[in-house]
Amino acid sequence: MKGEAKAQGIGASVLRREDDRLLRGRGQFVGDIKLAGLKDVAFVRSPLAHARVHAVHVPEAERGRRIFAAADLDGVKPIVAITALAGFKVSEQPVLAVDKVRQVGELMAMCVADTRAQAEDLAAMVELDLEELPAVHDMVQALEPGAPLLHEHWGDNVFLESAMDVNIEAAFDAPVKITRTVRTARQSMAPMEGRGTVAVWDNRMEQLVLYTGSQMPHIVRNGIAECLGLQQRQVRVISPDVGGGFGYKGILLPEDVCLAWLAMRCGHPVRWLEDRREALTASANCREHYYNITAYADRDGRLRGIDCTAIVDSGAYSSYPFSACLEAAQVVSILPGPYDFPSYRCKTWSAATNKCPILPYRGVARTGVCYTMELMIDAIAREVGMEPYEVRLKNLVQPEQMPFDNITRKHFDSGDYPEALRRAMAAIDLPAIRARQQRGEPDGRLIGVGHSIYCEQAAHGTSVYAGWGIPMVPGHEQATVRVTPDGGLEIRVGVHSHGQGMETTLAQVANEILGIPVDRIKVVHGDTEYTPYSTGSWGSRCAVMAGGAVATASREIAKLVKGIGSHLLQAGGGDVDLVDGKVVTATGSVTIEEVAHTWYRRPQDLPAGIDPRGLETTIGFKPVRDSGTFSYAAHAVVVAVDPEAGDIELLNYVIVEDGGKLINPMVVDGQVYGGLAQGIGTALYEEMNYDSSGQPLASTLADYMLPGPTEVPAPAIDHMETLSPYTEFGVKGIGEGGAIAPPAAIGNAVNDALRPLGAELYQSPMTPRRVLEAIRAARQRAASPTVAEGA
Amino acid sequence: MSMTHIALTVNGSPVAGTVEPRTNLADFLRETHNLTGTHIGCEHGVCGACTLLIDGVPARSCITYAAACEGAAITTVEGLDNDEVATELRAAFTREHALQCGYCTPGMLASARDVVLRMDDPSEYDVRVAMSGNLCRCTGYVGIIRATMSVLQARRARGIGPLNGAGRE
């Protein structure tokens, strides 16, 4: 027993150490940083989606002084994010536009003044001479012959084609064949804090210091050094408190490079803070997918095969470091989800369009894939006359198959997917819902029940990313852990915590091993100067990777502490234990404080042969297999659909989730709640539309609707804890999962509700307009049965 | 650009200065007075991150011009350190995990404090409606609503009724 200390280790809902400063408005976000002489930057941005740049007219008195165009940026390389995937076409994103602009909001000139308002006054003085070109505003249009070309030398608008075929012909004789077209809207990840950068040149350190709200400060450092031709020692990236990421802050922006360049020349700190219009329309969007999918099945609901073509709208440029292709290429490998079936074919295109680049958003391609696959499972169920959960149970990977390699060679580490689904169905009480549907509603609304299940590959490492060949490939994740002279602990990690609570949870990991109280442990992150290299926070990897690194390093520290403690206890370096923060033998004990005091303050008391590493170590961690942990969840939801207004209300929501061992259940629940809210936004509200000239149509939060307190129910969450066999403590990554399944579950519930009307929806968000259109189309089909289904 | 002289009270201290007519209250407080706890999320009055108290009433500081605040008493999150309700809310927000990244939090506290002071015996849905001017992207609102409800109910249980004339009418 570890007594009181045990309450702070793995599995304890320790309250967060980061809360107090944030609750008192004393956090430090990029916009809060004040440096003497700081000036503000505003950018002149392209008003057109696609145009040839004839001239950028800058008033002569300001050129090179307060206003800078591309010609002024000597020695700056464009941002290039390649992949190693065969056939990938490279885009070059100039940090300020040179001869062409390819998206609304593309940077054309940089203006610097005492305040942002004054910098915007300067921006208004710049005149643009642009020749508008036809725009590619839609990913399907992008692939048509004769479409305008973004990057002329490519010859088409395709960053990459990806394909896989596993014996698809064997499915063609299946008695059930269902084809649907599915679309998901372009979205903005919309963290409450936008991007922002403060840059200053430090003469004493001969170093550019870039404060930027980033999920991956070390990767930004790589990119800045590459674009500006600097040595790494000359670049320090600090990511302070960050107001939400969700993938949006996993990018090197042209603005970062521009400000770094400016700071090196102007002799004072400079700052750019993204406004909401820039965030929504210019920097990066995500998640716009198109699927044409055919499912083959037997009459008993057994899946025989899936045949799919898909397009992902990748925008104008390949973003650094994730590239334009991660999403579409992943669609090929993850579309089968948690199902085991024998035949599969999938081909995808990463389409270039005149829109801002895309980034992987919480769940990456999985949200769209889950939506598509799960709507198809329900369509099969309707066709064969079974309950959808029965079809799922027939096709899910079974627990006795674990570990399991699926049809695309994804390695499922552990889990009991059917059990998760059964628990969700029990919690939502399917028979009661069916009975309620029979009775009908007094208000005329239609009740529907839907569910979905997915798997989430998390913390996937070298073996996965080496194949992608993008600008970052995760290797061993390192942590530095050291005992301080007073017996406290410092942990240094290269990942970044921006809401995940790692200042608390990583301390819990160390507490589990060393017994040092959490409030005596400092977690340092977000500064390339003080932390080991890391690809950062993405892919639900931090609990597994950084947690694993802290555990590994803490075990080394335990050995070192025991070595010194053994000497102090005159145990001759022999058998001692570390319990509750004390080194103990059968006859005595010595505290970590005393061990630390001896190493740092009274080295004269140490024997000659003591381990010279002292009480500090840096060590790396990789799971036993680095192909990723597989967490998963079953979601079930009851909806009420108003067939007159098209409105959808969520009446009950249940989540059964398996994230392996939970380090801090309170924090995990928070991730699930937050993911669900974002998934509801994807399902019902959020949509970044463009008109046919490539103009973004949602540039405020009044147009781009985020779910508020009245739109998000409090779900019931049930945890299964199937340990991963490959990670420290059996932890699995779960940061993204909550956002993956909601559109699928809600979509199935809506289609279930609309079934009496013969209507089905296959496009998110499922807005009132789309609900009413689906109902209208069903009525027209019923009136003239010759009209083809699925129009 | 013409400048306007203003005199007002910020967190109990008199403040005077000249501002451009276009300067909003959030920028004035953040840039001129280093009160960076007031966060800017959208600058068009939708997200609620910049919510603070003007003469005791929650207001959007991003769409309030500083020049319009002559004589006003402004309270930012930094001014709520010793406020009784805010102190109870901070403990409840931590206990209920009502914040993750913390960016929306100062605005949430301003609105939640108003709910606790003003509403008598609201249902959970009433509280959700009352808080619907504040967006959070991290928490799904679960902890925020729980924390706000728990402080309100605890105060009512201690016999502290709603304050007439407090907050929004």
pLDDT in tens, B9-63: 999 999 999 999 999 999 999 999 999 999 999 999 999 999 999 999 999 999 9
Q: Which residues in chain A have Cβ-Cβ distances shorter than 8 Å to B102? A: 18-19, 21-23, 27, 241, 243, 499
Band (A159; pLDDT cuts 50, 70, 90): very high
* Per-residue pLDDT at B167: 54
* Per-residue pLDDT at B165: 64
Q: Is A117's CB within 8 Å of B20's CB? A: yes
Residue partners of B87: CB distance under 8 A and separation at least 6: none
Q: Which residues in chain B have Cβ-Cβ distances shorter than 8 Å to A677? A: 136-137, 139-141
Secondary element (H or E) of residue B6:
strand B4-10
Band (A790; pLDDT cuts 50, 70, 90): very low
pLDDT above 60 for B68: yes
The overall average pLDDT reported for chain B is 96
Distance CA(A665)–CA(A260), nearest Å, equals: 41
From its phi and psi, is residue A43 left (phi > 0), alpha (psi between -120 and 50) or beta? beta
Asked if the peptide bond before residue A403 counts as cis, ω within 30 degrees of 0, the response is yes
Who among B100, B134, B142 is closest to A499 (CB)? B100
Pick the closest to residue A550 from A604, A515, A511, A592 (CA basis): A511
pLDDT above 80 for A645: yes
pLDDT above 70 for A573: no
pLDDT above 80 for B166: no
Pick the closest to residue A344 from A357, A332, A354, A356 (CA basis): A332
Q: What angle do CA A308, A313, A318 make, to 5 degrees?
A: 120
Given CB atoms, is A84 within the 8 Å cutoff of chain B?
A: no
Structure tokens at A594: 């005393």
* Per-residue pLDDT at A784: 85
Residue partners of A440: CB distance under 8 A and separation at least 6: none
> What percent of chain A has pLDDT above 90?
96
Q: Which residues are paired to B53 by β-bridges? A: B58, B75
Q: In what order do the strands lie in the sheet containing A127-132?
A: A100-101, A51-57, A127-132
Distance CA(A70)–CA(A56), nearest Å, equals: 9
Q: Is the ipTM of this complex over 0.95?
A: yes
DSSP structure class, residue A580: T
Structure tokens at A522: 């400092």
Q: Is A192's CB within 8 Å of B76's CB? A: no
DSSP structure class, residue A627: S
Provide the H-helix boundaries in B19-119: 25-27, 33, 84-95, 105-118
Instruction: Find the residue in B nearest to A715 (Cα).
Output: B142
pLDDT above 50 for A4: no
- What is the three-state SS of A697-762? CCCCCCCCCCCCCCCCCCCEEEEECCCCCCCHHHECCCCCHHHCCHHHHHHHHHHHHHHHHCCCCC
* Per-residue pLDDT at A6: 53
The overall average pLDDT reported for chain A is 96
C-alpha A406: how far from chain center: 23
Q: Is A192's CB within 8 Å of B49's CB? A: yes
Q: What's the average model confidence in pLDDT over A531-537?
A: 98
Rounded to 10 deg, the angle between the A768-783 and A742-754 helix axes is 40
Residue partners of A478: CB distance under 8 A and separation at least 6: A493, A494, A532, A533, A534, A549, A618, A619, A620, A621
Distance CA(A537)–CA(A685), nearest Å, equals: 27
Q: How far is B56 from chain A (nearest CA, A)?
A: 18
pLDDT above 80 for A672: yes
Q: Which positions 43-102 of B are in contact with A (Cβ < 8 Å)?
A: 43-44, 46-47, 49, 76-78, 81, 90, 93-95, 97, 99-102
From its phi and psi, is residue A283 left (phi > 0), alpha (psi between -120 and 50) or beta? alpha
Cβ neighbour number for residue A13 with a 10 Å cutoff: 16
Distance CA(A98)–CA(A24), nearest Å, equals: 45
Q: Which residues in chain B have Cβ-Cβ distances shorter than 8 Å to A34? A: 34
Q: Is A191's CB within 8 Å of B137's CB? A: yes
Residue partners of A679: CB distance under 8 A and separation at least 6: A363, A367, A738, A739, A740, A741, A742, A743
Q: Which residues in chain A have Cβ-Cβ distances shorter than 8 Å to B144? A: 709
Pick the closest to residue A536 from A245, A273, A191, A276 (CA basis): A245
Q: Which positions 394-453 of A are in contact with B (Cβ < 8 Å)?
A: none
Distance CA(A638)–CA(A654), nearest Å, equals: 9
Amino acid symbol at A112: V
Structure tokens at B153: 């109910």
Q: Which residues in chain B have Cβ-Cβ distances shorter than 8 Å to A498? A: 101
Interface residue of B20, B42, B129, B148 to substitute, partner A, most A CBs within 10 Å:
B42
Distance CA(A91)–CA(A320), nearest Å, equals: 11
Distance CA(A275)–CA(A258), nearest Å, equals: 17
Q: What's the average model confidence in pLDDT over A692-720?
A: 97
Band (B169; pLDDT cuts 50, 70, 90): very low
Pick the closest to residue A283 from A189, A207, A199, A409 (CA basis): A189
Q: What is the pLDDT of residues A647-659, one digit of tens each?
A: 999 999 999 999 9
Q: How far is A251 from chain B (nearest CA, A)?
A: 19
User: Do the beta carbons of residue A481 and residue A548 sit within 8 Å?
Assistant: no
User: Do the beta carbons of residue A466 and residue A518 sit within 8 Å?
Assistant: no
Q: Which positions 16-35 of A are in contact with B (Cβ < 8 Å)?
A: 16, 18-29, 31-32, 34
DSSP structure class, residue A280: I
* Per-residue pLDDT at A575: 84
- What is the three-state SS of A109-147? EEEEECCHHHHHHHHCCCEEEEEECCCCCCHHHHCCCCC
Pick the closest to residue A19 from B71, B105, B123 (CA basis): B105
Interface residue of A14, A18, A19 to substitute, partner B, most B CBs within 10 Å:
A19
Q: Strand, coil or helix: what is A577?
A: strand
Structure tokens at A746: 């809600």
Who among A29, A244, A666 is closest to B97 (CB)? A666
Secondary element (H or E) of residue A68:
strand A67-69
pLDDT above 70 for A477: yes
Pick the closest to residue A505 from A721, A717, A621, A669 (CA basis): A669
Distance CA(A481)–CA(B12), nearest Å, equals: 44
Q: In what order do the strands lie in the sheet containing A582-584?
A: A577-579, A582-584, A589-591
pLDDT above 80 for A2: no
Band (A211; pLDDT cuts 50, 70, 90): very high
pLDDT above 80 for A246: yes
pLDDT above 70 for A603: yes
* Per-residue pLDDT at A5: 45
Distance CA(B141)–CA(B97), nearest Å, equals: 10
Distance CA(A188)–CA(A361), nearest Å, equals: 9
The burial class, CB within 10 Å (0-12 / 13-18 / 19+), for A704 is buried
B99/B168: higher pLDDT: B99
Q: What's the average model confidence in pLDDT over A771-779?
A: 97
Q: Strand, coil or helix: what is A52?
A: strand
Q: Which positions 647-706 of A are in contact with B (Cβ < 8 Å)?
A: 666-667, 669-670, 673-678, 700-702, 706
Band (A207; pLDDT cuts 50, 70, 90): very high
User: Do the beta carbons of residue A143 and residue A159 sit within 8 Å?
Assistant: no
Pick the closest to residue A607 from A552, A653, A570 (CA basis): A570
Amino acid symbol at A136: V
Counting DSSP H helices and E strands in chain A, the numbers are: 18, 29
Who among B30, B90, B128 is closest to A710 (CB)? B128
Instruction: Find the residue in A nearest to B135 (Cα).
Output: A708
User: Do the beta carbons of residue A669 and residue A717 sit within 8 Å?
Assistant: yes
Q: In what order do the strands lie in the sheet containing A270-273?
A: A67-69, A107-113, A39-45, A270-273, A196-202, A207-212, A235-238
Distance CA(B65)–CA(A243), nearest Å, equals: 25
Pick the closest to residue A25 from B28, B36, B42 (CA basis): B36
